Amino acid sequence: MPQSPLKIGLAGFGNVGAGVYKNLEKNRDILRERTGRDIIVHRVVVRDLKKKRAVSLPLENVSTDLSDLIEDDEVELVVELIGGIDRAFDFVKASLEKGKTVVTGNKALLAERGRELFEVAKENQSHIYYEAAVAGGIPIIKTVQESLIGNHIQSVAGIINGTCNYILTRMSEAGLEYEAALDEAQKLGYAEADPTLDVNGWDAAHKAIILASLSYGCWVPCDQIYVDGIEKVTKPDIDFADDLGYTIKLLAIIKLHENRGIEVRVQPSLVAKDHILASVRGVFNAILVTGDVVGETLFYGSGAGQDPTSSSVIGDIADAVARENQQGAMGFVTHDLYGKPLKVEESISKYYLRVQVVDKPGSLAQIATILGDHGIGILSVIQPEDHEEETAPVALTLHFAPFGKMLAAKAQIAKLDCVREEPILMRVEAV
Amino acid sequence: MPQSPLKIGLAGFGNVGAGVYKNLEKNRDILRERTGRDIIVHRVVVRDLKKKRAVSLPLENVSTDLSDLIEDDEVELVVELIGGIDRAFDFVKASLEKGKTVVTGNKALLAERGRELFEVAKENQSHIYYEAAVAGGIPIIKTVQESLIGNHIQSVAGIINGTCNYILTRMSEAGLEYEAALDEAQKLGYAEADPTLDVNGWDAAHKAIILASLSYGCWVPCDQIYVDGIEKVTKPDIDFADDLGYTIKLLAIIKLHENRGIEVRVQPSLVAKDHILASVRGVFNAILVTGDVVGETLFYGSGAGQDPTSSSVIGDIADAVARENQQGAMGFVTHDLYGKPLKVEESISKYYLRVQVVDKPGSLAQIATILGDHGIGILSVIQPEDHEEETAPVALTLHFAPFGKMLAAKAQIAKLDCVREEPILMRVEAV
């Protein structure tokens, strides 16, 4: 029996709020199949009804008063995306007291007043989900809370502020000074007009506090952690670090010490260039989690932005459905929204082909002719000049072609008089 | 009110089974806090009671007959780690029919007969969890199934066989031939005595089938996918690829095509050296998942091994508890198992210190003296020789020291007559 739709309310229709609405509408079919329920945005509260928006507001139930959302008993779940602390706190608290489920992406709210809110949730048997509060689209909260539940988390090292990572990447790779890199980040929309909370390290610190609190089951107070931003990092530091074999990253570090203390801090830090965290460039985020059972794991993706952050909000909404409906998102759900497996002959890629040929003129021409007959373009050819054998390898890279055509061409090439051994064919993947 | 313990049964006590037992015992306290239930291994079935084992069997309820486990009504959840297909199928089916929850790490079983087993589970309102079946300790099943639930998965590109990745890494980095690299992998325990299923690509293919089926909600038949192993990859191919700017990896590729077909294949593939997948070395696994909402995400970790795989099995057991007990693993659980946040003054690392000094002899000596007085060793010094200013930068890297000592030394250095500007201090992190 199909369940009734889940009616949700959005508090805030800024960048992320609009993204949640847009993507819930766009992927409604697959979400219904996977969760067993239709998810409907039933009510929206915004600050300014007349603001011009890239994503249009729904036609009904839009207002500027948060209590409209709190008092709407049809709304089972609210998504808090208004930002800030005091007004958001009051809204989340009132919603929990009404027994509503709360999904929030508000890291400052949770870091500063999460302890109080989780107590309110417990008293009212309601629930708070907050995947979107840390590292945008990367499912780090669920991973630490559920997948790694059997582990003592030994350490977390995260690049969890995309703005800072963009600025440091540009200083390092394009030789920009700090101010120029910040300016560029602002022009590209990667930094806000007032970038203070990003560049002073506190955005990363709020996320680190949430991760540390979750990992260690106790709320880490904001005034007990050490936070340094990137404002003082200069071009000479980037260059010295480079000379020394390092890249400068703003790292959030959480560490469990054997004397049973927890270290939490955010600081610009030198990371060895061959370390996996050094390869995290631009606005991307990555979090290296080490557990006593699982060992080292890394989670990488977009740490901010409308779509990635909505992916996490929608995941949380689906989790709330799954919690209510034990058959929901947790099971293996079959449906026919995607069609059937593709025949491999139709799959397209570039290729690498190595052919062992008798070393005389004309061999390459014969191979090229066969490839041309199958409509396969040649990207490059390597034919080593020095060799002592009678036969020599020719290595080619080939342009995009269906695998079926490629196999047919390879079979013809294999039959050439000048060819010895079965040719070696591999894909060149641009994944 | 504390809940009664969850009694589980282990079918199989090989490498992973023993790891699950060992780690459940080791981390029992934290699991009890986080899930709200004590998890107890109540019964174990093994093939050979007399086999010598690194992890000792429990003292009670150990036998060689799987029906002992199936018929034990106290056991609510069984962990299937016996491997193979037919015997495992019969055991899992019978357990589901008894209403037991099943946790399995058996990729071949699910790829070949998952469709039947999930139907049995549905009929009996029982559940199958299988995080350990794909990519060891990396929580890719939960990520695709739950975190990315709001996404159409556009593509998955995975290095999901550690044996093959080890062999290819050693061929590439140590110049070994295929046979020598395989031999080395066997000696290190990274390849089995009979490595066929790994090197012929089918272990990766089974995992790809599970990921594709989960992503697209339909079971992909084993005979409809294309699988090539790494047996034919030779040293010359590795070298040619290198010349061309590529690294050879065994990639599992899953792609959704707009004409509504699903491509699933496993093939040795050339990956550009600066691609993040190229940096996945040795026995590590990584899976690049692209969703239409989240964009590009990557999940990296140990793809096999006793401990990483047990981490996934234990995560699944906790999920089963959480499903039954809606207050379980899903909430933010507070406890005091870890103690309090550490004072940042006590946190230890290496450091980078840049000081702007008046360019005359003795400046470095004064700085070095202060560092020495605080017990801080110097690792390296860079002092550019050419400069036109009156003052010059000195960049030092310093040995491990408590942050408090480092701050005190920095404050003294800042007060030296020869020092201009506030010195810049950063951490050198070996995360």
How far apart (Å, rounded) are the C-alpha atoms in residues B118 and B123? 9
Give, to the nearest 10 degrees, the angle between helix A403-414 and helix A363-373.
Answer: 150
How far apart (Å, rounded) are the C-alpha atoms in residues A226 and A253? 10
Strand order in the sheet with A77-80: A62-63, A39-45, A6-11, A77-80, A101-104, A128-129
CB contact under 8 A, B344 and A30: no
B7 is catalytic: no
| Highest CATH level, class, for B344-428 | alpha beta
How far apart (Å, rounded) are the C-alpha atoms in residues B326 and A17? 28
Residue A210: name the closest of A286, A70, A346, A107 by CA.
Answer: A107
Chain A residues with beta carbon closer than 8 angstroms to that of B275: 431
Looking only at the bridges linking them, the beta strands covering A62-63 and A77-80 are: unpaired
For B226, the enclosing helix (H) or strand (E) is strand B226-227
Residue type for position B417: D
- What are B276's two structure tokens? 């993040």
CA–CA min distance B187, chain A (Å): 22
Q: What are phi and psi of B258, to 5 degrees?
A: -65, -30
How far apart (Å, rounded) are the C-alpha atoms in residues B110 and A292? 28
CATH number for the domain formed by residue range(s) A140-303? 3.30.360.10
CB contact under 8 A, A137 and B297: yes
Chain A residues with beta carbon closer than 8 angstroms to that of B109: none
Residue B310: name the closest of B67, B73, B31 by CA.
Answer: B31
Residue type for position B201: G
How far apart (Å, rounded) are the C-alpha atoms in residues B332 and B346? 28
Looking only at the bridges linking them, the beta strands covering B101-104 and B77-80 are: parallel
Same fold, A6-136+309-324 and A140-303: no
CA–CA min distance B192, chain A (Å): 22
Domain ranges across chain B = 6-136+308-324, 140-304, 344-428
CB contact under 8 A, A297 and B292: no
Given the candidates 3.20.20.10, 3.40.50.720, 3.40.50.300, 3.30.1360.120, the CATH classification of the domain at B6-136+308-324 is 3.40.50.720
How far apart (Å, rounded) are the C-alpha atoms in residues B213 and A260? 43
How far apart (Å, rounded) are the C-alpha atoms in residues B72 and B63? 12
**Closest Cβ–Cβ partner in A138, A302, A330 for B323:** A330
CB contact under 8 A, B352 and A393: no
How far apart (Å, rounded) are the C-alpha atoms in residues A127 and A267? 33
CA–CA min distance A123, chain B (Å): 12
CB contact under 8 A, A150 and B330: no
How far apart (Å, rounded) are the C-alpha atoms in residues A297 and A287? 8
- Which one of A207, A249, A350, A410 is the catalytic residue? A207
Report whether CATH 3.40.47.10 matches the domain B140-304: no
pLDDT in tens, chain A (431 residues): 467 899 999 999 999 999 999 999 999 999 999 988 999 999 999 999 999 999 999 989 999 999 999 999 999 999 999 999 999 999 999 999 999 999 999 999 999 999 999 999 999 989 999 999 999 999 999 999 999 999 999 999 999 999 999 999 999 999 999 999 999 999 999 999 999 999 999 999 999 999 999 999 888 889 888 899 999 899 988 998 898 889 999 999 998 887 668 889 999 998 988 888 998 999 999 999 999 999 999 999 999 899 999 999 999 999 998 887 654 334 566 677 777 777 788 888 899 999 999 977 888 999 999 999 999 999 999 887 766 678 888 999 999 999 999 999 999 999 999 999 899 898 888 76
How far apart (Å, rounded) are the C-alpha atoms in residues A311 and A124? 27
Given the candidates 3.90.1150.10, 1.20.1090.10, 3.40.50.720, 3.40.630.30, the CATH classification of the domain at A6-136+309-324 is 3.40.50.720
Is residue A100 within 8 A of residue A78, CB to CB? The reply is: yes
CA–CA min distance B336, chain A (Å): 7
B101 contacts: CB under 8 Å, gap ≥ 6: B76, B77, B78, B126, B127, B128, B129, B320
DSSP A278-314: GG--TTEEEEEEEETTTEEEEEEEE-SSHHHHHHHHH
Residue A68's Cβ-count burial label (10 Å; 0-12, 13-18, 19+) is middle
Predicted confidence at residue B173, as pLDDT, reads: 95
Q: Which residue in chain B is spatially nearest to A241 when comparing CA positions?
A: B352
Residue B259's Cβ-count burial label (10 Å; 0-12, 13-18, 19+) is exposed
**Closest Cβ–Cβ partner in B24, B298, B403 for A300:** B298
HEC sequence for A217-231: CCCCCHHHCEECCCC
Residue A316: name the closest of A87, A96, A61, A105 by CA.
Answer: A105
Q: What is the pLDDT of residues B19-35, one digit of tens each?
A: 999 999 999 999 999 98
How far apart (Å, rounded) are the C-alpha atoms in residues B322 and A147? 12
Q: Which residue in chain A is spatially nearest to B118 when comparing CA positions?
A: A332
Stretch B225-250: mean pLDDT? 91
Residue B248: name the closest of B180, B173, B303, B301 by CA.
Answer: B173
**Closest Cβ–Cβ partner in A157, A253, A262 for B338:** A262
ipTM: 0.89
Question: CA angle, corner B160, sides to B157 and B161, nearest 5?
Answer: 140
Global pTM?
A: 0.90
